[in-house]
């Protein structure tokens, strides 16, 4: 198995004007296009937390999309964390 094929977990915290603008729906759509599983949820402090699992290159493409200027709202900063996939997700949910 190629290293790029080993599932990983991406956790990203998106800062900016990202609540109430369709950002979680948009993120879910991008994740499903990439074949990722996980969730996107609003946090009380105004950030959106995104957790996605799948091949590293697919997660990296999602991270690039999160940082792009094509998302709804305004993204000021994205803080990321990488880990081994833990499993337990089916589909990609908006929480």
Q: For the segment 7-39, what is each residue's pLDDT rounded down to a tens digit?
A: 999 999 999 999 999 999 999 999 999 999 999
Structure tokens at 86: 């833990």
- Give tens-digit pLDDT for 1-15: 566 678 999 999 999
Position 94 in a domain: no
The pTM of this model reads 0.94
Distance of CA 54 to CAs 12, 57, 85, Å? 14, 8, 8
Domain span holding position 26 = 8-88
Q: Is 55 inside a domain boundary?
A: yes
Residue 72, in any domain of the structure = yes
Annotated catalytic sites, by residue? 24, 42
- Residue 93 resides in a domain: no
Dist CA 39 CA 76 (whole Å): 20
């Amino acid at each position: 198995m190629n290293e790029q094929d080993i599932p990983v977990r991406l956790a990203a915290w998106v800062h900016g004007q990202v609540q109430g603008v369709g950002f979680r729906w948009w993120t879910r759509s991008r994740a499903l296009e990439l074949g990722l599983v996980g969730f996107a949820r609003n946090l009380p402090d105004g950030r959106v937390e995104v957790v996605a699992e799948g091949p590293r290159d697919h997660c990296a493409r999602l991270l690039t999309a999160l940082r792009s200027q094509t998302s709804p709202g305004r993204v000021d900063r994205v803080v990321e964390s990488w880990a081994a996939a833990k499993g337990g997700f089916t589909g990609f949910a908006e929480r």
